Structure 1
């Protein structure tokens, strides 16, 4: 593929099916690529992306960016003192001992709620076929976030159709803004109603932090609350699907994921190999020159986490999925001042899910067929760019042998 043949169309079938050769050619010949379609510079090499993410002169805030128009001013597009103030407000919920408590109080019950329903469906049969994306990859994050917000878990079925338009409005290319604004208004009304009904002793970890009981409601934070509903669900939906895809594609036995060290390696390598978000949006607050390309002040920068995560200058055999590789630097959660605030909770969520899967089932196999089959491998059909995820993933979960179940029960006890 020559430079002249590169056609950067995030919505094209070619890109959605296999963006990696396109990224590779851009890294080689055009690492700061001007996209006329997006009126933006796409930056594709690892070191450049990291440098720009940590450069205080490359900013997140811009009044006309789609996330600002949708959510209003939030943590996502704040810079400087306001950004530090918002991070300080929410940090206590997402670090250290708090994450450990949330794992036992929220993550394990959320995962078990989903897996209980699958085991009940299996009954006495030796296995059960499920659509993994809908049942598990969607089920677990929404079961988790309802508990984190202290709202009824059964409300997840109402929440998702209102969260999805928010994701679409900040995609590349974006869907219509008006449906997303209507969905956000419904979500804000929902949160306000739940806060109005809050009683002493109610457990609402996120909402209690953002809107302390007994204090006037700070409506400026309602946009941030809806943003967290999106960030805490759809990114995890994509990541969970990618991890299961990697496990199946590389013939990893479910029992191997009982080893905490290996499980962590699998999660981290998948986040490098198939990150759920391929691009982060930034703006140049000063004139820049990158690889001889002049980037004028106020230019839009698309920093490619997807391309950078497979940069051959940084990672040996970057297209190969290799848990335990020496260099496990991650960009999936961004870098610099805007590193994802929920990184520890997200990693705990993925770890908890695949730990419980390894404890409760005897194995997992691909069920049915997939698009994009080629000798020795298969590739999922995916959609999305900011929330890049498999369309479908049909799997068969196997019953755990009786002696293993008894041993697992003793271990759990």
Structure 2
């Protein structure tokens, strides 16, 4: 065993937790007791490993301990005693040691435990669940966040989130733990990627509350997307989504001022942007475009790369961005993409042309969140009002711009965004 500091052990446990849970759910099929057993194994590891050192096969250690705890738990359940004792007798507890890399039932060169992580993601994003339940269950089972952490991220009481997660577990109870068949894979993978991006989106720009950025959620979404990409390295949608997240998160250091105030993209100090992340994201975006037809995530990543690669706001290649948005809105009905296109139109053809494009989006559709990838808050009515206000200000219509800024401020539940929009309105007061 090797001695490791507590931070490294915490990272190791977070990495292996979904793999261990996936292994137990695949073997036993009981989501709730399997999750409890994994938590007990993680607690045991957190207590033992700092003193005894990390075992040579930490994943195998966790699977072995968790399987023993789960077997004990199932044996103590009187109603299921006979069935579970039979299963335990057929499979000795010591048999649950994870196989070495490249070996196991999945065949040479594959890692069965990581395959279990992806299968667990598919299970958490089962179509019987609502998007809110998919997100909560994914964060709990795959992300390893506590119920309290998930509740705080969604600004709901812990008891409410616990009920939501419990209902989601019951809904997928008894579902066969396996990867979807090829004909269903694309649709289910789309749901997985959408859930991961919604988690990132909420972390990058919180829809409500006092904080603009929830670092933990954004980083967790990126970590999980990296895991999916390790398993599906040639899937352009996965590569594109990871590129979009990395390129967007790279701007985080410059998004807020000293007092936490929001700083818009065109006013940010680009010297604060994470250039290492931008280099990685740009390479990923280029790779994603080479992995088949350009989809929503690939196009959004290409747009993000053009923003990040511009040394100054005035150096941004807006004609190219507009061309990419034209492709994007042709592919998806997402109002956020249409609103992004309107901004690009304004930057290429002037604020009046942009206002015409924005006005064409006004109506019931403008208030509905879209399903596509986006790197800014959801395309609610307040977003349309905020863009219109900015374009009206650029066009010299101060009174109309002030009213639009105030309407946008009244429409958002994000306190930093509301403060920013009201400050813009006050700047235009006579």
Which TM bucket (shorter chain)? under 0.3
User: Which structure has more helix as a fraction of its residues?
Assistant: 2
Higher relative contact order (CA 8 A, sep 6+): 1
Normalising by structure 2, we get a TM-score of: 0.25
Report which of the two structures shows the higher radius of gyration computed on alpha carbons.
2
